[in-house]
Structure 1
């Protein structure tokens, strides 16, 4: 098997609220949107972030997702500067993100803060000055 990820799919309770947050709030452009079913964004040349309505997930997978608490996953948006981190966190707050935390210097040498989308998925907004962090910048 090739070492790669093609799709990251997150199951959401309200696809309309998810669309409002990412499209209207953060200004993202959908690659595909089937109302009430799925919303997809191309987030890298060969990577798609997909938001799937819970009913479709249950119908295909056969089990309802576990809800409650903080989902045990983070997504990260890496930026070239610490000012960029602060700007994106503020944009997320204005878009309606919850649990927006101020960015801070981290023990690993970077600068990051977090916000939660409408379903509680945590986004880390970071400036990673290390070699791997720099390698993922556009």
Structure 2
């Protein structure tokens, strides 16, 4: 198997609210939008973010479990400068994102902060001056 991720799917409680956040709030353009089911947004050359209405997902995935706290993963959005981190966090806040943490300088040399989408999925906004960080810009 090739090391590759093609889709990141977030199972959301309210697709209309998530669409408003990502499409209207952040300004991302959907490539596929099926009311009450799914919104798909191209976020890279070969990567799609899929927002899947929970009721529709249950039929394929089975019961969805949710608990207290943040989901145990993050999605990252890397940028080319610390100033860009602050700008993107401000744009997300203007779109209605919750900001669990403000941006800070990290011990490893980067500068990162997090926001949460309407379902609590955490997005890291990161300036990573290392080779791997720069390779994804």
Is this a same-fold pair by TM over 0.5?
Answer: yes
Distance 1:71 1:100 in 2: 13
C-alpha separation in 2, matches of 1:114 and 1:95: 14
1:2 — aligned with what?
A: 2
Contact (CA 8 Å) 1:89, 1:100: kept in 2 or not?
A: no
Alpha-carbon offset, residue 100 of structure 1? 4.7
TM-score under structure 1 normalisation?
0.95
* 2:122 equivalent in structure 1: 122
After superposition, residues 44-123 of structure 1 pair within 5 angstroms as 44-123=44-123
Larger relative strand fraction? 2
Structure 1 portions without partners, runs of 5+: none
**1-structure distance, mates of 2:47, 2:70:** 24
CA RMSD of aligned residues (A): 1.0
Number of positions where the alignment pairs a residue of Structure 1 with one of Structure 2 = 137
Structure 2: runs of 5+ lacking an equivalent: none
Alpha-carbon distance, 1:101 to partner? 2.6
**Counterpart-to-counterpart distance in 2, 1:33 and 1:95:** 20
Query: What TM-score, normalized by structure 2, do the two folds share?
Result: 0.96
Structure 1 outlier segments of 4+, above 4 Å: none
Moved more, 56-65 or 78-87: 56-65
* Greater mean alpha carbon deviation, residues 100-109 or residues 127-136: 100-109
